[in-house]
Chains A and B, each alone.
Chain A
Amino acid sequence: MTRRRDMIFAAAFAAALFAGSVAQAQSGPIRLGFSMSRTGFLAQAMPDQVNVYELWKEQVNARGGLVVAGGARRPIEFVDYDNQSKPDVSVRIYEKLITDDKVDLLLAPWGTPFHIAVAPILEKYKFPMVGNTAASVAVRQVKAGYIWFPTSAIPDRLGVELVALLKTQNVKTAVLLCNVLPFSKEIKTFLEPELKKAGIEIKLNTEYPPDVKDMTSMLTQVKQANPDAVLALAYPGDSVLYTKQAKELGIAAPFQFVAIGPSGSSYTAAVGKSANNIVTIGHWAPERSEWPGAKAFNDDYVKRFKDQPDYLNSALAWMSLEILEQAVAKVGLDKEKLREYISQTTFDTINGKVKFNGVENAITPTAFLQIQGDSPKLIWPPSIATSTFRPKKDW
């Protein structure tokens, strides 16, 4: 009798424990996992993205948590690891996040190689993740299903749109300066034939290594070529170098395009008013009133970090969080339902409507920013422009 009573008591205790843990799982914090390049050569790119994640977490928790379909709000917490700027380490981290840490949701790492590297893991474990800072024609090779890319800055589309913008400015001659890193090389691959097709003469076409420290000899040739447009397919470090040395040499081209870097505040901090009228890649700006959350995001970021968000990478990171948040609010944390919902739905973001066709954002147009005064303005395409192109007249 006593033994039977003990067994009943033990079973009841176990059932209570199980019920408690289920309740805890349904009301406790939602755990979001990601890896980030906190150390290594890509670490300097990390703050633009991770700051956005932190801001979102603070705002969501201040609202009482993330709305999960069919339930109450639940607070969120991050599980994140340093990938040492190595895609293979990132792959192992995402596998650990899914299988060992058993996180509820995943956020994206920084950069195209990292996104492409983790895609097979997402496919293997059928775990959806909205990407953000990845832009390459290679993303179209990624199997559609569990990863999506909100950017519209895909190199083939960039080539077409940049040449369309050049033609509106009656550009007849250009020089092409290209950092040999993958993204800039990819832009060059698509830009060069478009320039030729448009009849724009390429007066100088040269490449340089990522560790460039002095561009004097190259820019002396640019000055001698005296083109209508300088197209510097640069990364953040050499964007600053180009601008400083182009100023020193007095490069006078009225159209000056610097691919990556000018969308972030560290560029303007480094070069000051020389940044004025530099054209760069970017499809978001806070001034556009048709995107209601855009200004609020910008203001909140500035208030929290005393710095401007990067108009490309920070905006993309926030867009990915908005998409995830809307999907979780609608279908909860079920991975298959999330996958289906994200694949089929049109989302409202700070960059306007976003809908995915396969892995690619099918709505946001490929666009360009120009630094005018103290911030970048959208100047292309006309459908979303907040300002018009201004020729660069001085440094």
Chain B
Amino acid sequence: MWLDTLLSGQLLFSALVTGSLYAIVAVGLNLVYGTMRLLNVAHGDLVMGGAYLAYWSLTLLGVPPLLSLWMIGLGGALIGLALYRSMFRRLLIASADPGRVEANSLLLFFGISILVQNTIAWFATPTPRAYLYLDDVYKLGDTAMTGNRIASLVTAAATCAGIWLYLRHHVVGLALRAVIDSPLAARIVGVNVEQVHRTSFVLGFASASVAGVLVSMMEQFSPFVGFPFSIAAFIVCILGGLGNIGAGFVAALFLGVIETYGIALTSLNWRSVLLYGVFVATLLAFPQGLFGRRVRS
């Protein structure tokens, strides 16, 4: 019976949904940290903001989430651009020392996190919100799949693939990877580092907002749900190697598999032990993250 459960498509589907959500949540954090060494602890609050925007788009304007996510992604990008121009560009220019940038950004984003949470709590009340969307269940063999979970999986995978292709083939994407690998060398060979920073903010904030739309389709949310997403994103980024975007996707899927199958073999009470246990064990064995060394070579 155990083997049947482990080999069932149900667990595989669940692992893919969880892993893809981790991937889309983490990619934005990884971009912003990789290019600028900014520790965005408010990243989960962007996810939460995206969830609220999707909720209001549906309930107030009647726009379904799979349509509104384009506008919400664009809105997230504009917020990222505005924050970069108003705050973080100055921080990056003023602090040449990366350690100082990290510390200052941590404080700034922490402040933004509190501000965002409490503004939404004040404006929308802390009452948990949710809505029904694509909640029909489809069957593929013995595997049951709710429509919104399929939509989340497909959207997250497509967004991550889009970002991956952009980084692989677009000139700004290539420049972005160059800045992640070596900011100084990139500057010497004429990469427009400021444009790269701006792009990272735009992509990072847009992907987090889209992740929020996906979360809202599947889960109940309140103004205070963001922090666990920030933690999950940090775990994925560190597992994959901070700033290593492609490895981050693999790490996210790995974490989804560990979480789903690990729980099936033990119990739900072991979830945190499994996640953090794997995280600590991986860091002890591979201090640069699972794929850190290979990418650098």
Contacts and interface: CB of A to CB of B under 8 A. Distances in A.
B263 to A, nearest CB: 5
Contacts of B14: 214, 216-217
Contacts of A272: 132, 135
A221 B228 CA distance: 27
Interface string A228-256: 00000000110011001001111000000
A272 B147 CA distance: 15
A39 B125 CA distance: 10
A207 interface: yes
Interface in B89-141: 117-118, 121, 125-132, 135, 137
A1 B272 CA distance: 86
A220 interface: yes
Interface residues of B, number: 41
Contact of B220 (A206, A215, A237): A237
Contact of B263 (A180, A217, A248, A249): A217
Contacts of B224: 39-41, 43-44
A241 B10 contact: no
Nearest to B17: A214
A215 B268 contact: yes
A217 B269 contact: no
Nearest to B273: A209
B195 interface: no
A73 B11 CA distance: 64
Contact of B260 (A217, A224, A249, A269): A217
B220 A43 contact: no
B268 A206 contact: yes
A247 B268 CA distance: 19
B207 interface: no
Interface in B159-196: none
Given A206-B267, A214-B18, A247-B137, A43 B126 contact: yes
Interface in A27-51: 38-41, 43-44, 46-47
A47 B125 contact: yes
A39 B130 contact: no
Contacts of A46: 126
Task: Identify the interface centre among B11, B129, B259, B268: most chain A CB within 10 Å of its CB.
Answer: B268
Contacts of A241: 219-220
A347 interface: no
B150 to A, nearest CB: 11
Interface in A168-192: 180
A278 to B, nearest CB: 15
B128 A209 contact: no
B137 A213 contact: no
A207 B269 contact: yes
A245 B1 CA distance: 20
B244 interface: no
A41 B225 CA distance: 9
A218 B267 CA distance: 8
Nearest to B262: A217
A207 B268 contact: yes
Contacts of B263: 214, 217-218
Contact of A269 (B126, B131, B228, B259): B131
A209 B8 contact: no
B3 to A, nearest CB: 13
A39 B121 contact: yes
A212 B222 contact: no
A16 to B, nearest CB: 44
Contacts of B1: 224
A270 interface: yes
A211 B272 contact: yes
Task: Identify the interface centre among A41, A43, A224, A249: most chain B CB within 10 Å of its CB.
Answer: A43
A290 to B, nearest CB: 31
Given A40-B224, A43-B224, A266-B130, A249 B144 contact: yes
B260 A214 contact: yes
Contact of B128 (A44, A217, A249): A44
Contact of A216 (B127, B128, B260, B269): B260
B144 A240 contact: no
B167 to A, nearest CB: 28
A122 B271 CA distance: 41
Given A40-B224, A217-B268, A237-B128, A248 B260 contact: no
Interface in A195-213: 206-209, 211-213
23 contacts: A39-B118, A44-B127, A46-B126, A207-B267, A208-B271, A211-B228, A211-B271, A211-B272, A213-B219, A214-B18, A214-B260, A216-B11, A217-B11, A218-B267, A224-B1, A240-B219, A247-B146, A248-B145, A248-B149, A266-B129, A266-B130, A266-B220, A271-B132
Given A38-B126, A218-B267, 5 more contacts: A218-B263, A247-B137, A248-B149, A250-B137, A266-B129
